[in-house]
Amino acid sequence: MNVTKAIKSRKSVRAFTRQSVSREILKMILDTARWAASGTNTQPWEVVVLTGKNKDLLCQKMAAAYHGGVKGKMEYNYYPVEWKDPFKARRIACGKALYAALSIEREDLGRRKSQWAANYRAFDAPVMILFYMDQIMKTGSYLDYGMFIQSVMLAALDHGLATCPQAALGEYPNIVKAFTGHGAEHTLICGMAMGYEDVEAAVNNYRTDRRQAEAFTTFM
Query: Is residue 1 predicted with pLDDT exceeding 80?
Result: no
Tell me what the mean pLDDT of segment 173-180 comes to. 98
CATH superfamily of 3-78+120-200: NADH Oxidase (3.40.109.10)
pLDDT for res 37: 98
Using N-to-C axis directions, what is the helix angle for 109-117 and 52-67, rounded to 10°? 140
Query: Is residue 107 predicted with pLDDT exceeding 90?
Result: no
Query: Is residue 181 predicted with pLDDT exceeding 80?
Result: yes
Tell me what the mean pLDDT of segment 29-46 comes to. 98
pLDDT for res 106: 85
pLDDT for res 17: 97
Distance CA 161, CA 145 (A): 21
Q: How confident is the model at residue 152 (pLDDT cuts 50, 70, 90)?
A: very high
Q: pTM above 0.85?
A: yes
Q: How confident is the model at residue 156 (pLDDT cuts 50, 70, 90)?
A: very high
Q: What is the mean pLDDT of the chain?
A: 96
Among 3, 6, 26, 7, CA closest to 194: 26
pLDDT for res 26: 98
Q: What percent of the chain has pLDDT above 70? A: 100
Tell me what the mean pLDDT of segment 46-74 comes to. 97
Torsion sign, CA atoms 152, 155, 159, 163:
positive
